[in-house]
Structure 1
Amino acid sequence: MNLFPFAVKALQAVKCSLIDPLKHLSGWNKGDPCVSNWTGVFCIDTTVKDGYLHVQELRLLDMNLSGSLAPELGLLSQLQILDFMWNELTGTIPKEIGKIASLILLLLNGNKLSGSLPDELGYLWNLTRFQIDQNQLSGPIPKSFANLLSVKHIHFNNNSLSGEIPSEFSKLSNLLHMLLDNNNFSGRLPPEFSSLSKLRILQLDNNDFGGSEIPATYGSLSTLVKLSLRNCSLQGGVPDFSGIANLSYLDLSRNHLTGPIPSQKLSHNITTIKLSHNNRNGSIPMSFSDLPSLQKLSLESNLLAGSVPSSLWRTMSLTTSNRRILDLRNNSLSNILGDFDPPANVTLRLENNPICKNSTIKNIGRFCSYEDGGIEIPENSTNSTQKMICPAQECPDDYYFENVPASPVSCYCASPLRIGYRLKSPSFSYFLPYMNKFKIYLSQSVNLNISQIAIDSFIWEEGPRLRMNLKLFPLYDHRDKHIFNASDVQRIRSQFTSWKFPPTDFFGPYELLNFTLLGPYSNSIITKGILAAIVIGAIATVVSIAAIVLLLITRCSSFHHTPSSRKNMSTRISVKINDVRSFTIKELVLATGNFNSSSQVGQGGYGKVYKGILPDNMIVAIKRAEEGSLQGQREFLTEIELLSRLHHRNLVSLVGYCDEEEEQMLVYEFMPNGTLRDWLSDKARGTLSFSMRLRIALGSAKGILYLHTEADPPIFHRDIKASNILLDSNLTAKVADFGLSRLAPLQDDEGIPKYVSTIVKGTPGYLDPEYFLTHKLTDKSDVYSLGVVFLELLTGMQPIMHGKNIVREVNMAHESGNMFSIIDSRMGSYPSDCVERFVGLALSCCHDKTEKRPSMLDVVRELENILKLMPECTPHHHHATISESTASAFSSKLESSSSSASYVTRDPFVSSSISGSDLSSGVIPSITPR
């Protein structure tokens, strides 16, 4: 009797090219139903009942699986846990999943699923956790989901869901966390949500509720810990939240809220109040002074007037880890109420307030004159684990063993379990004051001593979400045991994958990103080959009257997932390149949590880009070539050697490379402030003043000038655009995506290279018109593309938007005398004379004729001249106009002093698309940044 049709159907449900469930059978491990290595976690838990095999748990977590989910999943009628998190699954969610009435956990987040949500999922009466976040799902939420009466967690954030949020959700009486942020919801905020008597977190940021008001009934959500309604197009006033005893986080920023800020007594637990970028008037309430846990008060960009109460910082209890940000910029505040003596742990921002002109207030200038309106850099740590000074011989010389930071026995060396972990919606703005509290919570959750837990690094991500790399160490053992035994590993892994941690609203919902087993832990788990088979089979024999069931459950116990399916090279070339590190695959696997999809920050023609943390805690961006982008090894190393010679403060630096097992990866410095395009978008994290934009323009031009004139051989970039200009922690511009495709040059009669003939590559909107027609690439092609970037800096527009071309639009505005009508209002006041010269420069760069554009050297000189004029310029932009003669005169001056490639005397070297544009903290370009 064949008992495995259900199991086979279940495994066929993942239609992955790497899986053939019928060809590979192996023995059953009677212990842990989970198997894992650095490829991810695979669990299948089964029982036999009535002569049939029943699958109760199916987990394929972070296994790099592609393909789609098939309707046969609905046959698993006894399934309780369906977990396909952090894979590459595409297609739609099968409606047949709605037939699995026993399902408790449905975890599909971190894939590429698309289409609409099936109504049938509303039949999952026993579902407690419903996670489909970070996919590409669209359409409305079915009203049938109001039948999920057991559900406690709804995580639908970071999709493209639309329509109204169903008011019927008010029936979900057990709901604790509702995360619907970063979608396309519209309509009203349902006032009926006030009946959700257990709701702790409501996060709806970045939707468009089109003028809806915040229902006054939300003030009666007495169990609420976090309310986040950022950038939702809300209007009206703010409800009275004084009755919410445990409210810790309130974000109503970037809306159209009006009226005075109510003087209500908020919870003493509150850490964060964000009311910035609204139309609030009146004064700063004195009630904000008596908030002992407050970390961040953001009131910038409102219409507030009156005095700043010094009690905002005077009552603060300071320790070394405490931090308080008071952001009051861009208001009409005129005085200080009380003594003006903010302590060192308080950051006070007062720029663009009348108070900054009050010379009677001592030292007011240092709170009003941040360089370029200084941008606050988010708190993060890549060295939060205390390093110990111990004899070198105490630990083996590899990455698998290290001294345990908090061990009661000094210089105790052990091998940690490495875990990627993320808090999806924490109720605080700064982590350091709560780090120890979090470690206590974690140690209790996994039944370890707090000394066994180290937070190796943490970083804030968009959301805001808090990502961290954990290390769990074994306890000191006098028998010289330096690793966890197999049962400990099994128990800890089970705790992390079971979602049975004690509930915590302050730290919010969590997610396991990876569970990395390397070094000494790899011996007893799967380490070789590609994930080739996942199979369950069963055979039963009925003997006489008594049914004796002989179950043979088979599954693969010796598979290995190398980072790709490529064959090993038969020969290797050994080479040492100065100033560039050669990494092993193992090092980069460890740095990225096995190239976990949550680490992916971009994707281009070359391959995917991941953020990684090296053993020395350096944060890097790792570009991993796909098979179609692989070169011959000698060519790859030759180009690495060339890139290693490029050093300029305005170029993204190459840190190292990996070239083994037919993997070709490039490791670059990581740019924490993302791309220039990110900062110019409508959902930008902050604003750039005119002075900052000029400096970014100058830095970009200097980087490209270096490529044109100092690189050996010279390099034409060929794909200059705002998303290829990255910003470091100081907002210094660095050019990326240059230098990995040598092209044969054409030469003039004297043998001097003049241009490169090539198929047209680049990005629409930035392409040199003559290059597009003639396929002749010169240094002036780069000048044109940079000119388009300058126009983006001036207007905030994209090169092509709604069928309109930025060069044409700016030229028309310039010729009609209406140039200032399309200048980006977000950069605040600016000197009109300086803007006039910058516009002239940008339009000259974008001239249709190559010979009429300035050289890159002239571009750099003109930008330097504009910056020198800045202190002398008068900020009277509202009535200023740009004279056509100014732009024409400047263009003529540049034409007379430049030539197409006069300084290019060596073989030009033109970039393709592999070296840097995705080296920033962002998301996959095809997905709207969150």
Structure 2
Amino acid sequence: MWALRVHGYVLAFSFCFITFMAASQKTDPSEVKALIDIKNSLIDPMGKLRNWNKGDPCAAHWTGIWCFDKTGDDGYFHIRELYLMTMNLSGTLAPQLGMLSQLNIMDFMWNNLTGTIPKEIGHITSLRLLLLNGNKLSGSLPDELGNLTNMNRLQLDENQLSGSVPESLANMINVRHLHMNNNSFTGQLPSKLSNLSNLMHLLLDNNNLSGYLPPEFSKLHSLEILQLDNNNFSGNGIPSTYENLPRLVKLSLRNCSLQGAIPDLNSIPSLKYLDLSWNQFTGSIPSNNLSTNMTTVDLSHNKLNGSIPRGGIYPYLQRLQLENNLLSGSFPATVWQNMSFSRKAKLIIDFHNNLLSDVFGDLNPPANVILRLSGNPVCTNSNIQGIDQYCGKEGREVDEEFTTSMAVCPVQSCPVDNFFEYTPSFPPDPCFCAAPLRIGYRLKSPSFSYFPPYKTSFITYMTKSLNLNFNQLSIDSYEWEEGPRLRMYLKIFPSYNDSHSHTFNTSEVLRIASIFSSWRFPHTVFFGPYELLNVTLLGPYANIIINTESRKRKTGIIVAIIIGAVAAVLAMTAITMLLIFRRNSKYVHLISRKRTSSNVCIKIDGVKAFTLKELTHATNKFDISTKVGEGGYGNVYKGILSDETFVAVKRAGENSLQGQKEFLTEIELLSRLHHRNLVSLLGYCSEEGEQMLIYEFMPNGTLREWISGKNKKFNKGLSFCMRLRIAMGAARGILYLHTEANPPIYHRDIKASNILLDSKFTAKVADFGLSRLIPYSDEEGTVPKYVSTVVKGTPGYLDPEYMMTHKLTDKSDVYSLGIVLLELLTGMHPISRGKNIVREVNLACQNGTMDSIIDTRMGEYSSECLDKFLALALSCCHDHPDERPSMIDVVRELEDIIALLPETESEICLSDVSLDNSGKMVPSSSSSATTSGNIMTRKDQQHMSADVSGSDLISGIAPTIVPR
């Protein structure tokens, strides 16, 4: 009784104290109400804003809400920053946003918002960053945005906005970045924008602007980038006043219906990038027209005539394009004479389809120069030695890959399933294994057209800005996109010097993410503006929530006092509770496990409810000798039931127990999946706090074991036709999930270790722990094209688009299967020693060295079949989902490849197979190892053991499910 009385006093004191302290931490009530209205106007399928009704926004750290450190003159805390980037939000922007009167940053980037931009946002005069890009906003811009005189960065690009560009934007006297590209703006560009004396970047490309280019823009003396491509400026030319833009680095006016003469731009000393292609410019190319700093000059697809100037020294030039003009005279083979070509430098000179009749100088360019002269008279009427090689058609140019020499490291010692990998370059320890942060990043308007020469300087710039060592950042991949814009995926690794830590601590993750999301990188003219696409937290960082944690430190001392006081009260309460249950401690642990999962009393057709006693006996009390696998879910055991049927028992660990509802949902889902190429669920057990799933046993292990040669019992390797057979089986299983399962399913973790082989070497897809149901169609019969979800899966198999957008589609499974197909071809791991399998195969194809990476253990094969299989695999691994085939197309293509095989090989591909006494695969009808059905008994396995020279298959067996 005394304990209960003390406990009551403590609770009463706690309530009074917390109530008192909470009163000292209170957000402006009008802003709280505004936040609730904002949430109500949004659709939040992933529940990101689920804590927006709990406590005080500033004290309880609502997701995406960052507050000022101190109260205002009114005694309230106020919202300072609103970060809701990449949360898969849809719905509309509420007018109540205007009530956040002291807001500095509003970030809704990369969501699916529709509707118009509320004029009430124009009331937030303190706003510095308005970031709404990457949505589906429509309608015209409200004039009230012009009231935002403290605005530094306005990003409205990649929406569906229309109407004219408001003249009122000229009132944003402090704005430096106007990014409004990829919309549908129309009409004349307001000349009053010339009042924006601080404007550095004006991006309005890919709109429907008309009229003329305002001559008044010459007053924009801070302007560095003017990018207006793909508009229609009604046949006017470039104002000659633009020669007076002293800091202009990039002028891009591609496909703008411009005409007249090109002005003399020689007076712009900083100009590095000039693109005036696909216009109607006439006249000659002015001599000494360009600064010596130029990297890119594109004047192609115009009506320029006259001769090509021979002067000029351009040591940094990467691209000179003058194709499809009317230029005559001689081609000056002196362009590259004063250039210093490093190993990473490249120069493309394209003069095809002109009227050039001769060559001035020695036509012997360095290997780094790509020269195109086809379509000129010089190619047909000249005897110049060696000119033929420059008169053919050239393919599309691709940047070289950024590779680093790696030491040979033990593959299995780095736990890739937990998103660890070997760091690209750590001289003290080249096999240092760590978990990187993954960043999606894009340069929106770079001042170069070929990246390799600048990678080192870019990494230096990034790491200095992040206060990291140079070798902590790796550019995992990059590609040029329409714009041109440069999208890249970065990996940031923990420092080897920090006590050899293999992961970042939480505060460091939040610090790095905050720098990226707050545009705190130092200004750089050359790399231009950038945008953060995503910060993907996987593996050990999966539970870190950037938007709720990254600025808890900044809510002030008062919050720290409250938290400390509450912690003290909770500690007192815990002590009291400990006293109360002191005599019952053994009972507490028993309740904890049993409450997690009570007995399941449910009957599901075709799925048996096993008792704990049965499974304990089948696995010899879960003896370590019966353990055949383990992962994040728990352990997998080999079991022998009373009827001598072999099964795989997947037993949840104490930290992986689901709620009863979730466990039943998984059982019901798996019980509906019935296909030859899917592993079958036989039953389940939910007794005394246990959760177990029982699957059919797969005696031939995982595909990964066969590819890697780990399964020493079967060291013959897989023939090419057997690899085709396995690929076909896996593809058919996935196709069933996508099109015939009810409801359809995205697997989300297709990998070689989740493709298992039964006694007849039939491939079966396993492990549906990460699978997601495809939403049903709406009232109009439209099925959603994707599922919004946090990123989960296995490194190396993850769809890059899914990692960036968090949008899971059927093409995400196609990508993962494509990686498996490349594994079948090469025997490589998806990620090994810092190398990515897709990149390595693409490089081998480009360099004509594919034979060097083909797995030699698959014996003879038809080159035609191999080429088709390779093409299919690479098409599945295309970065853009729309370019990948559907699963039905994959199955059909595999069928076509198998049809090209010789009859004896195609029989093995299309029939059940087994091993003969020599370990050779033969159709199962000719082997004594044939078994009936899919369930294997002890007798069946004994027969198989005899067929393989008496070897014991049980010890090398793989589990049905290989958990993460």
Coarse TM-score class (shorter-chain normalised): 0.5 to 0.7
Using the TM superposition, give the Cα deviation of residue 233 of structure 1 relative to its aligned residue in structure 2, in angstroms. 0.2
- 2:535 equivalent to 1:515: yes
Identify the residue that residue 523 of structure 2 maps to in structure 1: 503
Using the TM superposition, give the Cα deviation of residue 266 of structure 1 relative to its aligned residue in structure 2, in angstroms. 2.1
Among 42, 54, 57, the alignment partner of 1:25 is: 54
- 2:785 equivalent to 1:607: yes
Identify the residue that residue 278 of structure 1 maps to in structure 2: 302
C-alpha distance in 2 between matches for 1:306 and 1:267:
24
Q: Secondary structure at the match of 1:739?
A: helix
Relative distance call for 1:366 and 1:91 in structure 2 (3 A) is same
Relative distance call for 1:629 and 1:166 in structure 2 (3 A) is closer
Identify the residue that residue 405 of structure 1 maps to in structure 2: 424
Deviations 1:497-548 (A, max 9, x none): 1111111111010011011111112244489xxx9xxx9xx9xx9xxxxxx9
C-alpha distance in 1 between matches for 2:438 and 2:142:
37
Identify the residue that residue 352 of structure 1 maps to in structure 2: 375
Given that 1:43 and 1:60 are in contact with CA atoms closer than 8 Å, whether structure 2 keeps it comes out as no
Where do residues 157-306 of structure 1 align in structure 2 (5 Å cutoff)? 157-287=181-311, 289-306=312-329
Identify the residue that residue 585 of structure 1 maps to in structure 2: 748
Given that 1:163 and 1:185 are in contact with CA atoms closer than 8 Å, whether structure 2 keeps it comes out as yes
Structure 1 residue ranges (4+ consecutive) displaced by more than 6 angstroms after TM superposition: 20-23, 26-31, 548-553, 581-584, 609-614, 617-631, 668-672, 726-729
Where do residues 371-520 of structure 1 align in structure 2 (5 Å cutoff)? 374-379=394-399, 381=401, 384=403, 386-392=405-411, 394-398=413-417, 400-411=419-430, 412-477=432-497, 479-520=499-540
C-alpha distance in 2 between matches for 1:401 and 1:34:
31
Using the TM superposition, give the Cα deviation of residue 452 of structure 1 relative to its aligned residue in structure 2, in angstroms. 0.9
Identify the residue that residue 136 of structure 1 maps to in structure 2: 160
What RMSD, in angstroms, separates the aligned Cα atoms of the two structures? Answer: 4.8
Deviations 1:288-310 (A, max 9, x none): x4111000000000000011111
Q: Secondary structure at the match of 1:53?
A: coil
Relative distance call for 1:485 and 1:626 in structure 2 (3 A) is closer
Relative distance call for 1:360 and 1:566 in structure 2 (3 A) is farther
**Identity among equivalent pairs (%):** 48
2:154 aligned partner, one-letter code? F
Relative distance call for 1:608 and 1:187 in structure 2 (3 A) is farther
Relative distance call for 1:551 and 1:63 in structure 2 (3 A) is farther
Where do residues 785-796 of structure 1 align in structure 2 (5 Å cutoff)? none
Q: Secondary structure at the match of 1:48?
A: coil
Q: Secondary structure at the match of 2:286?
A: coil
Identify the residue that residue 334 of structure 1 maps to in structure 2: 357
Using the TM superposition, give the Cα deviation of residue 739 of structure 1 relative to its aligned residue in structure 2, in angstroms. 3.4
C-alpha distance in 2 between matches for 1:430 and 1:66:
37
Relative distance call for 1:567 and 1:341 in structure 2 (3 A) is farther
Deviations 1:659-680 (A, max 9, x none): xxxxxxxxx99999xxxxxxxx
Answer 1 or 2: higher relative contact order, Cα 8 Å, separation at least 6.
Answer: 1
Where do residues 709-720 of structure 1 align in structure 2 (5 Å cutoff)? none
Superposition TM-score, scaled by structure 2 size: 0.57
Using the TM superposition, give the Cα deviation of residue 23 of structure 1 relative to its aligned residue in structure 2, in angstroms. 7.2
Q: Secondary structure at the match of 1:88?
A: coil
Using the TM superposition, give the Cα deviation of residue 630 of structure 1 relative to its aligned residue in structure 2, in angstroms. 9.6
Where do residues 364-763 of structure 1 align in structure 2 (5 Å cutoff)? 364-370=387-393, 374-379=394-399, 381=401, 384=403, 386-392=405-411, 394-398=413-417, 400-411=419-430, 412-477=432-497, 479-525=499-545, 569-570=666-667, 571-572=669-670, 573=673, 574-575=678-679, 578-579=726-727, 580=730, 585=748, 607-608=785-786, 615-616=795-796, 739=888
Identify the residue that residue 386 of structure 2 maps to in structure 1: 363
C-alpha distance in 2 between matches for 1:96 and 1:629:
37
Relative distance call for 1:283 and 1:587 in structure 2 (3 A) is farther
1:5 aligned partner, one-letter code? S
Bigger drift between 72-81 and 471-480 goes to: 471-480
Given that 1:44 and 1:59 are in contact with CA atoms closer than 8 Å, whether structure 2 keeps it comes out as no
Q: Secondary structure at the match of 1:218?
A: helix
Using the TM superposition, give the Cα deviation of residue 75 of structure 1 relative to its aligned residue in structure 2, in angstroms. 0.5
Q: Secondary structure at the match of 1:503?
A: coil
C-alpha distance in 2 between matches for 1:384 and 1:328:
32
Bigger drift between 188-197 and 447-456 goes to: 447-456
C-alpha distance in 2 between matches for 1:624 and 1:509:
19
Identify the residue that residue 145 of structure 1 maps to in structure 2: 169
Bigger drift between 258-267 and 113-122 goes to: 258-267
If each structure's helix is expressed as a fraction of its own residues, which one has the higher value? 2
Relative distance call for 1:740 and 1:432 in structure 2 (3 A) is closer
Among 6, 28, 31, the alignment partner of 1:6 is: 31
Aligned length in residues? 618
Relative distance call for 1:521 and 1:616 in structure 2 (3 A) is closer
Identify the residue that residue 760 of structure 1 maps to in structure 2: none
Q: Secondary structure at the match of 1:471?
A: strand
2:539 aligned partner, one-letter code? G
* Unpaired runs of at least 5, structure 1: 36-40, 542-547, 554-564, 589-593, 596-603, 648-667, 673-705, 712-725, 743-930
C-alpha distance in 2 between matches for 1:261 and 1:167:
28
- 2:144 equivalent to 1:120: yes
1:496 aligned partner, one-letter code? F
2:888 aligned partner, one-letter code? G
Given that 2:252 and 2:274 are in contact with CA atoms closer than 8 Å, whether structure 1 keeps it comes out as yes
1:124 aligned partner, one-letter code? L
Relative distance call for 1:118 and 1:524 in structure 2 (3 A) is closer
Given that 2:503 and 2:540 are in contact with CA atoms closer than 8 Å, whether structure 1 keeps it comes out as yes
Superposition TM-score, scaled by structure 1 size: 0.59
Relative distance call for 1:509 and 1:621 in structure 2 (3 A) is closer
Deviations 1:681-730 (A, max 9, x none): xxxxxxxxxxxxxxxxxxxxxxxxx9xxx99xxxxxxxxxxxxxx9999x
2:350 aligned partner, one-letter code? D
Relative distance call for 1:505 and 1:523 in structure 2 (3 A) is same
Identify the residue that residue 56 of structure 1 maps to in structure 2: 80
Between structure 1 and structure 2, the one with the greater Rg is: 2
Relative distance call for 1:439 and 1:624 in structure 2 (3 A) is closer
Using the TM superposition, give the Cα deviation of residue 566 of structure 1 relative to its aligned residue in structure 2, in angstroms. 14
Given that 2:373 and 2:379 are in contact with CA atoms closer than 8 Å, whether structure 1 keeps it comes out as yes
Using the TM superposition, give the Cα deviation of residue 187 of structure 1 relative to its aligned residue in structure 2, in angstroms. 0.1
* Unpaired runs of at least 5, structure 2: 1-22, 567-661, 680-702, 704-724, 735-745, 752-770, 773-781, 822-837, 843-864, 870-874, 892-964
Identify the residue that residue 955 of structure 2 maps to in structure 1: none
Using the TM superposition, give the Cα deviation of residue 403 of structure 1 relative to its aligned residue in structure 2, in angstroms. 1.7
Using the TM superposition, give the Cα deviation of residue 45 of structure 1 relative to its aligned residue in structure 2, in angstroms. 5.9
Using the TM superposition, give the Cα deviation of residue 378 of structure 1 relative to its aligned residue in structure 2, in angstroms. 3.8
- 2:184 equivalent to 1:155: no
Identify the residue that residue 780 of structure 1 maps to in structure 2: none
Q: Secondary structure at the match of 1:297?
A: strand
2:313 aligned partner, one-letter code? D
